Amino acid sequence: MTVRIAMWSGPRNISTAMMRAFENRPDCTVVDEPFYAAYLAQTGLDHPMRDDVLAAQPLDWREVVAELDGLPGALVYEKHMTHHMLPVFGRDWTSSRANAFLIRDPAEVLVSYTVKRAEVTLEDIGVVQQRDLFDREADRLGHAPPVVCGADVLADPRGMLSALCAALGIPFDAAMLRWPAGRRDSDGVWAPAWYDAVERSTGFEAPRETVTPVVDDHLRRIADAARPHYEVLLQHRLTPA
């Protein structure tokens, strides 16, 4: 029986490093942002390498789900961006996954995001959508699904990954802590635009000193709108095993 994990994150978190950690397990297959092309096709948004993304993945969300459901193996890890899950995309398929949520302070997300893409909206960082997905899964389970704070993983990778694996009902594997540098065949076609730092990495880097970033008025308004949703998930974050 295949265990399918859906990890729901906004952009500019440690989502790709988390994908690296799971891919380094000998029992795991990973999938990188499978709804990206469908999201771009539906919204018409201009993202870096848009044409390459559209050519690389199915444009219909139903085809994406069918491909995901067909992936074999003991463990499949799906890296999802919450903002890709548009209201017109069905979500019933998520009930067949072990859903987990990777969070980061919205102000920090915004500062990092604008380095790569100057224009940003509340919808772009996916916090509201992440709260919606979290509430849906909590209602289905009758309790909060696993929530992991990226900063906590950086501070204690072994402890937090052990806690996450326990919450997902899978054994922890120490292979998740280190991986070879470089690009992977499993990386999305958009990797050259977004993955420069993770391609140089060989593990989770120690966190920098936490400082609340200074943001301009536009970014501050977005951060303030996102914060109540982020704080709901933050209340349920896992602690190190």
Compute the average pLDDT of residues 68-96.
97
Residue 194: predicted pLDDT = 86
**Which domains are seen in the chain, by residue range?**
3-234 (3.40.50)
Confidence band for 205, pLDDT divided at 50, 70 and 90: confident
Compare 194 and 76 and report the one with higher pLDDT. 76
The two structure tokens encoding residue 200: 């140089």
| pLDDT higher than threshold 90 for residue 116 | no
| pLDDT higher than threshold 70 for residue 209 | no
Residue 127: predicted pLDDT = 97
| pLDDT higher than threshold 60 for residue 211 | no
| pLDDT higher than threshold 60 for residue 79 | yes
Residue 216: predicted pLDDT = 85
| pLDDT higher than threshold 80 for residue 208 | no
Compute the average pLDDT of residues 21-47.
97
Residue 200: predicted pLDDT = 95
Confidence band for 55, pLDDT divided at 50, 70 and 90: very high
Compute the average pLDDT of residues 197-218.
79
Confidence band for 118, pLDDT divided at 50, 70 and 90: confident
| pLDDT higher than threshold 80 for residue 70 | yes
